[in-house]
């Protein structure tokens, strides 16, 4: 196995990762799964800085740290911090970086993770910055794709929903561009994938196409990656109301899909996957969320330099 390329490194954007880096992290996640090294991060302290709501990302990072013997300080509500008094993100992160060994940060502003990384030498893990990036979500998505399909190369995958504001779609499309995949971007025209992401995929010569409807594409898919319409990113509530229910996957749509097709969703879901689908073999989103713990254990162990 190659040397730890994540030791001391910030994890800000999937654009910073090669295919080799990604496969290395996924292999380490498998290694963590097999060895269950429960004291590996003993003595290490994580700052959990969530300026925006989260269930999975925050709690899986905190659980990952604690299950490996490490400790956590932080906040889930920035209104209880000095940000409320007007402290800049730069100053807050500079100080927090003096107290902890690693910082996991979620923030509503695009580019804030890169800005935080400029404030401190303590490694920053971007747990989602606005509508920009969510790199550890992508790592767990890729782990889940590989687990469910045996390989990432060769798959047909549709990203569906809010591809404009959905940071998980941006990170995942960039990461998939390293692989031999066929991509379908399915969204209303106003919520299609941003040109800089499409251009990134194009530059890697990955085949992709744009669609407004899901049903024609469904039978071709190995992975259906559903996403939520990101209500909190819309400045115009009328525009949100126009698109909020544009994709609502129901059981009757799954009649013609491949038996091995799996549905992923970064969650939370609102109305875009009917709960009746949960009991079908196609539903894989809860397993996906569970994999987040494992992949985040691998990421923390690598960045903290406790594993090769």
Q: Which residue ranges make up the site for ligand CP (CB under 6 A)?
A: 54-57, 128, 137, 266-268
Query: Which C-beta is closer to ligand CP: that of 40 or that of 104?
Result: 104
Cβ 214 to ligand CP shortest distance, Å: 21
In the complex with ligand CP, the residue whose CB is nearer, 25 or 307, is: 25
| Alpha carbon distance 149, 122 (integer Å) | 36
Q: Give the active site residue among 27, 84, 85, 211.
A: 85
C-alpha 206/C-alpha 221 separation (Å) is: 16
- 106 among known catalytic residues: yes
Place of tokens 């991509």: 183
CB 59 to ligand CP: min, Å: 8
* Closest separation in Å from C-beta 202 to ligand CP: 27
8 or 268, CB closer to ligand CP? 268
Structure tokens at 263: 């549905």
Instruction: Report the nearest approach of ligand CP to the CB of residue 216 (Å).
Output: 28
Q: In terms of CB distance, is 56 or 282 closer to ligand CP? A: 56
Q: Which of 58, 107, 134, 282 is catalytic?
A: 134
Asked about 280 being catalytic, the answer comes back as no
Choose, from 7, 9, 33, 57, the residue flagged as catalytic.
57
Closer of 61 and 185 to ligand CP (Cβ): 61
> Is residue 134 annotated as a catalytic residue, yes or no?
yes
Q: Rounded to whole angstroms, how far apart are CA atoms 238 and 241?
A: 5
131, 110 Cβ separation under 8 angstroms: yes
Which one is catalytic: 58, 106, 107, 146?
Answer: 106
What is the closest distance, in whole angstroms, from the C-beta atom of residue 156 to ligand CP in the complex? 23
Distances (CA, A) of 302 to 11, 28, 76, 125: 11, 8, 24, 12
Is residue 57 flagged as an active site residue? yes
Task: Report yes or no: 246 and 221 within 8 Å, Cβ to Cβ.
Answer: no
Please tell me which residue in 9, 33, 55, 56 is annotated as part of the active site: 56
Q: Does the annotation count 56 as an active-site position?
A: yes
Q: Checking DSSP bridges between strand 156-160 and strand 124-129, what pairing results, if any? A: unpaired
Residue 188 CB, nearest distance to ligand CP (Å)?
22
Minimal CB distance residue for ligand CP: 57
Our CB check for ligand CP shows the closer of 21 and 62 to be 62
Answer whether 14's CB lies under 8 Å from 135's CB.
Answer: yes
- By annotation, the residues acting in catalysis are 56-57, 85, 106, 134
């Amino acid at each position: 196995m190659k040397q730890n390329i994540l030791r001391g490194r910030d994890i800000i954007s999937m654009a910073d990762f090669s295919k080799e880096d990604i496969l290395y992290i996924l292999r380490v996640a498998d290694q963590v799964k097999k060895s269950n090294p429960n004291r590996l991060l003993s003595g290490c302290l994580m700052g959990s800085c969530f300026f925006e709501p989260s269930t999975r990302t925050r709690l899986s990072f905190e659980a990952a740290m604690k299950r490996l013997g490490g400790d956590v300080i932080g906040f889930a509500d920035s209104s209880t911090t000095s940000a409320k008094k007007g402290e800049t993100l730069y100053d807050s992160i500079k100080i927090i970086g003096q107290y902890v060994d690693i910082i996991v940060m979620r923030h509503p502003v695009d580019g804030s993770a890169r800005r935080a990384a400029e404030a401190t030498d303590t490694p920053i893990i971007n747990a989602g910055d606005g509508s920009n990036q969510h790199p550890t979500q992508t790592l767990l998505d890729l782990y889940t794709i590989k687990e469910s399909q045996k390989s990432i190369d060769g798959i047909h995958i549709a990203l569906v929903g809010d591809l404009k504001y959905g940071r998980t779609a941006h990170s995942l499309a960039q990461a998939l561009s390293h692989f031999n995949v066929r991509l379908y971007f399915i969204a209303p025209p106003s919520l299609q994938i941003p040109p800089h992401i499409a251009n990134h995929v194009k530059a890697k010569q990955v085949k992709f196409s744009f669609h407004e409807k899901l049903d024609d594409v469904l039978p071709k898919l190995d992975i259906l990656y559903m996403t939520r319409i990101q209500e909190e990113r819309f400045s115009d509530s009328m525009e949100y109301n126009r698109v909020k229910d544009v994709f609502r996957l129901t059981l009757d749509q799954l009649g013609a899909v491949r038996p091995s097709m799996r549905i992923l969703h970064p969650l939370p879901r609102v109305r875009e996957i009917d709960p009746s689908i949960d009991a079908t073999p196609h539903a894989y989103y809860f397993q996906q969320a569970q994999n987040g713990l494992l992949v985040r254990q691998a990421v923390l162990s690598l960045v903290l330099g406790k594993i090769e």
